[in-house]
Amino acid sequence: MSIPVFSGSYRADEVRILLTPLALKMVNVVDKERLIQSGQRHYSTLLSQETLPSPRYLEIFYQAFALTRQRMAQQLLDLAAIISAQHPLGSLTLVSLARAGTPIGVLLWHVLTAHFAREVFHYSVSILRDQGIDYNALRFILHDQLHEAMNVVFVDGWTGKGAIARTLAHSVTQFNQTYDSTIDSRLFTLTDLAGVGVAPTNEDVLIPSSILNATISGLISRSVCPAQLNANSFHGCVFYREFAANDLSIWFIDALRAEIAACLDNGYLPRSTPIDSHSAQNRSQQLLLTMKKQFGVCDENLIKPGIGEATRVLLRRIPERLIVRDPNAIDVAHLLQLAREKQVYCAIDRTLPYHAVSLIKSISSC
C-alpha cells in the first residue's frame, strides 16, 4: 500500500499518522448528542466543529503546564523505562492511539531514542469504541512497513473507565487470530485510572495535553469512520489547517523535551516497575456503581471519570454537570473555567476518588 506521509503539524520523523484527512460536514453539538444517544448514529461517524480556546482558558493552560510539566516529564521517563524493560530486545514500534495518545507517542519516541538508546518507529492510528482498532493501519505497519509484531507497543495518555483498553484487547486478539499475528494488546499509558493497562501511576493527575483539542495534537481531530471511507482506507480525521497560527503541538513537545533533559541532569532515576492495577480496578467499579445510583444514570457511557475524560465532555459533548473534589486544585482550574464559559452546573464532592467526574446530559429516561 503506497500512501503519502501525513504527520499533521508534527515533524515528519516524529510520527506517521495513519489517518485519512477528510472534508466532513460538521454537526452541531446538540444534534450530535441527540443522534448518538438515540442510536441513530454512532459517535464514530460524527464530528462537531472545533473552536479555538478563549484567552482566559489559554492562560489557565499555560499556568497548569508550568506547574505540572516536571511531573509529566518524570511520568514520561518512567513510562519509557517500563516500555524498554518489558520490550528489551530489538527496535520498538510505538503505535499511539489518535488523538490523545499522539503527543504522548511523539514524546516517548524522543525519550526512548535520545535517553534509552533504542531504535524507535512511531505511528498513530485510530481506535473507536465498539468498533475496534483500524485493521488497515495495523496491516500497513506489519506488512507494508515490515515491523515485527512482537515489537509493537500501544500507547495512550490515560484510561478513564477502561473502555478503549478493553476494545483494544478484544480487537487486537481478533486481528491476531485472523492474520496469524502475535501483537501484544496491552495499553501503556501515563496514568491508568481504570486499572486495565500498564502505567507508572493510577492517580488522577492533569496531563496538560488533555486540556486542548487539535492545537496540541498535531492539528488533527479525533478519528472518525464515516460511510464515505472505502474498505481499504485508514479511518479518517479533519486536519485543521486554519488553526496553524495557534498551534502549540511542536512547542509542547519541545518544552517537555527540555524538561525531561533537566530532570535527568538533576539526577532523576526513571522507575521501570509499573503500578499494580487491582486497587484502581476496584476504585473504578465502585465509583461507577455510586454514580449510577446517586444520579440515576442508566448508560455507563454517560459517566466520564478523571480529569482527561471530564475535560473531553466539557469540550465536545453536552454536560449535565461537573463534579470536582477540590475546587482550589490547579488540576481542575481549566475545568472550572470551561464550566463557567459553558454555564455547566458544578458540584463539590470531597469524597470523590478522582479530581473530577463529568456526567453527559441524558436525552432519555431509564
pLDDT in tens, 307-350: 999 999 999 899 999 999 999 999 999 999 999 999 999 999 99
- pLDDT reported for residue 1: 54
Ranking 2-6, 236-240, 351-355 by mean pLDDT, the lowest is: 2-6
Phi, psi of 52 (to 5 degrees): -75, 150
Distance CA 154, CA 166 (A): 13
Whether 176 shows a pLDDT value over 80: the answer reads yes
Q: Residues with Cβ < 8 Å from 297, sequence gap 6 or more?
A: 291, 303, 359, 362
If you search the block for the grid coordinates 502475535, which residue do you land on?
A: 182
What pLDDT shows up at residue 34? 86
Structural domains of the chain sorted by starting position, each given as residue range(s) with its CATH number in brackets: 16-265 (3.40.50), 278-360 (3.30.1330.30)
The three three-digit cell numbers of residue 127, written as one number: 481506535
Residue 64, C-alpha cell as written in the block: 497548569
CA–CA separation, 228 and 366 (whole Å): 34
Give the pLDDT band (50/70/90) at residue 2.
low
| Residue 42, pLDDT score | 77
- What average pLDDT is seen over the chain? 94
What percent of the chain lies above the pLDDT cut of 70? 99
Is residue 165's pLDDT more than 70?
yes
Higher pLDDT: 229 or 104? It is 104
pLDDT of 364 > 80? The answer is no
pLDDT score at 366:
57
Model pLDDT for residues 31-65, shown as the tens digit of each residue: 888 888 888 887 778 888 999 999 999 999 999 99
Over residues 255-265, the pLDDT tens digits come to 999 999 999 99
From the list 92, 93, 156, the residue with the least C-alpha distance to 129 is 156
Mean local confidence (pLDDT), 134-141 = 96
**For residue 25, what pLDDT is reported?**
86
C-alpha cell of 336? 472550572
Distance CA 141, CA 85 (A): 23
The share of the chain scoring above pLDDT 90, in percent, equals 85
C-alpha cell at 100: 490523545
Q: What is the dihedral of CA 345, 157, 43, 182, to 10 degrees?
A: -150
Dump pLDDT digits (tens) for 62-95. Answer: 999 999 999 999 999 999 999 999 999 999 999 9
Residue-level pLDDT at 365: 58
**What does the pLDDT look like over 99-119, one tens digit per residue?**
999 999 999 999 999 999 999
pLDDT (mean) for 117-128: 97
**Stretch 173-190: mean pLDDT:** 96
Q: Is the pTM of this model over 0.85?
A: yes
Residues of the chain by 3-state class (helix, strand, coil), percent to 5: 45, 15, 40
Q: Is the peptide bond before 283 cis (omega within 30 degrees of 0)?
A: no
